[in-house]
Structure 1
Amino acid sequence: MSEDTHRRSEPRTGVISATSVQARDPNRISIFVEGTFSFGMPLEAALEMDLRKGLEMDEVLLARCLAADEEYKARKKALNLLAFRQRSTGELDERLRRAGFSDAARRAALARMQKLGYLDDAAFAEAFARDRMGVRGHGRRRVLLELGRKGIAPSLAEQVVALVSEGRNEVEDALALARKKARSLRRLDNPRKKRERLWGHLSRRGFESDVIRAALAQLAEETIDEPRNAGTEEDPMP
């Protein structure tokens, strides 16, 4: 029988009168104290504690059982969250905290996920940085900021961003975004406002001022050359 089929009751001390593996979840066991369902817990933990009929369930043992059950539920929650998408240790810890798990249960769940290889901050940070910089075109500053928000240590974030940045030219990346944005600003006649909008767009993407300045300077040169090139094609020199 599952815990849902039993009348809700508070975990209690006393003599264990029966134990029963739950039908819905064979990894859990129901503990009955003095003829009444008391609580459910992981079967593995119950076996380790040698819980059996006739054993006295005192306050200390009850606390151990409830802690083991909370750790089990925290691990299950962590697995569900990681099945949805890859997460950093800090991000997963925050989600477990918001779900109401204690510090001890969260630490145990995180340690288990790391041991199983499901939680790897270095791998997470690298995948995140490659997506943001290579696919979305974000600059170093924004990627570092976002990694920090994900709970990645500054030293690791710097190391990963440096690795992902190898062989990349940030000015070229910023220029590509500026070209794309400039196409949507063609009807804006005020050059100053156009430059301000382009600057703001690149800044929000996380590019540093010197990178933005270089990219916009190159874009300005390309813009100046466009009419000249177009005229040459329409009216070639004899």
Structure 2
Amino acid sequence: MEEELKEKSGQLDDFPSGEALEISEVEQLTRPRYHYRLFFGDLKLRVHEDVMIKYRMLKGSSFTREELEEIMEANERQSAYASSINLLSFRSRTRTEIMRKLREKEFHPHVIEVTLERLEQEKLIDDGVYAQQWANQRVRSQKKGKVWIRQELRQKGVEPQHIEEALGNIDEDEELSSAVQLAEKKWRSTPGGMLDKKRKTMAFLMRRGYSSDLVRKALAAVQNKDQEEEDV
């Protein structure tokens, strides 16, 4: 475990200064992917494939400790970037979510910041776009209200201005329509009298993150429809 940590962090404490060391063996690793273990006699380092290619770290090549220190700095940046790309390949994420994951992997704070800036420059993370897409998806597919969505985006570390802009762009009629659909379903599945139906439906919508004003509108729509059906 200690040797794995040393490889991961790129420590070069055991490497002699001012002396060129030759790569005696190159071993491809299955985990983490796209990484190689380089042997310098009894000493070894773990590097990302892109870094190995860039610096031509092949068997028989020689490097001083000073050169390796520079290479390992580049290696940590590349590893952090590659780890971020892997996370984003599964789903979109916020800046804060990527930052938290990189911290868990114990990357240096400066490396994390550089990586996040690169991802933003390349438009691979964009909290404003993320917030808008998330809000629309939660209203349409999950039938969540703005209160719920605001809390979710806060937990994901999205800045307040992005959250409010995303919520402000939600179509009010669409949110009300989603609330009415939920209210109708809850109303019809709730046994008991009018008071019980009203109380339980209101509580249900509130738990789904709809505002009290929108809950009242949705409930009124359901009651009116229910009354119309009884009058037929």
TM over 0.5: yes
**Deviations, residues 179-206 of structure 1 (Å, cap 9, x unaligned):** 0111221xx1133232221111111111
**Deviations, residues 76-116 of structure 1 (Å, cap 9, x unaligned):** 22111111111111111112222332312222322232233
Task: Give the structure 2 partner of residue 71 of structure 1.
Answer: 77
Contact 2:26 2:39 in 1 (8 A): no
Matched, 1:228 2:224: no
Which of residues 100, 110, 118 in structure 1 aligns to 2:106? 100
Which of residues 184, 192, 216 in structure 1 aligns to 2:189? 184
For residues 151 and 45 of structure 1, the distance between their equivalents in structure 2, rounded to whole angstroms, comes to 32
Any stretches of 5+ residues in structure 1 without a counterpart? Answer: 230-238
Structure 1 residue 48, shift from structure 2 partner: 7.5
Task: Give the structure 1 partner of residue 177 of structure 2.
Answer: 172
Q: Secondary structure at the match of 2:202?
A: helix
For residues 44 and 225 of structure 1, the distance between their equivalents in structure 2, rounded to whole angstroms, comes to 69
CA gap 1:22/1:78 in 2 versus in 1, 3 angstroms = farther
Q: Which amino acid aligns with 1:84?
A: F
CA gap 1:139/1:54 in 2 versus in 1, 3 angstroms = closer
Task: Give the structure 1 partner of residue 22 of structure 2.
Answer: 18
For residues 21 and 116 of structure 1, the distance between their equivalents in structure 2, rounded to whole angstroms, comes to 36
Matched, 1:205 2:208: yes
CA gap 1:99/1:53 in 2 versus in 1, 3 angstroms = closer
Matched, 1:147 2:149: no
Contact 2:38 2:45 in 1 (8 A): yes
Q: Which amino acid aligns with 1:206?
A: G
Which of residues 78, 85, 93 in structure 2 aligns to 1:87? 93
**Deviations, residues 118-141 of structure 1 (Å, cap 9, x unaligned):** 212222222111110122221122
Q: Which amino acid aligns with 1:198?
A: T
Any stretches of 5+ residues in structure 2 without a counterpart? Answer: none
Which of residues 194, 197, 207 in structure 1 aligns to 2:197? 194
For residues 53 and 169 of structure 1, the distance between their equivalents in structure 2, rounded to whole angstroms, comes to 64
For residues 21 and 117 of structure 1, the distance between their equivalents in structure 2, rounded to whole angstroms, comes to 39
**Deviations, residues 119-164 of structure 1 (Å, cap 9, x unaligned):** 122222221111101222211221121111111111011112212x
For residues 200 and 168 of structure 1, the distance between their equivalents in structure 2, rounded to whole angstroms, comes to 21
* Cα RMSD, aligned residues only: 3.3
Identity within the alignment, %? 24
Contact 2:23 2:38 in 1 (8 A): yes
Task: Give the structure 1 partner of residue 65 of structure 2.
Answer: 57
Q: Which moved more, 1:98-107 or 1:135-144?
A: 98-107
Matched, 1:124 2:127: no
Structure having the higher Rg: 1
TM-score (norm 2): 0.77
Contact 1:175 1:219 in 2 (8 A): yes
Q: Secondary structure at the match of 1:41?
A: strand
Q: Secondary structure at the match of 2:28?
A: coil
Q: Secondary structure at the match of 1:67?
A: helix
Matched, 1:218 2:221: yes
CA gap 1:118/1:190 in 2 versus in 1, 3 angstroms = same
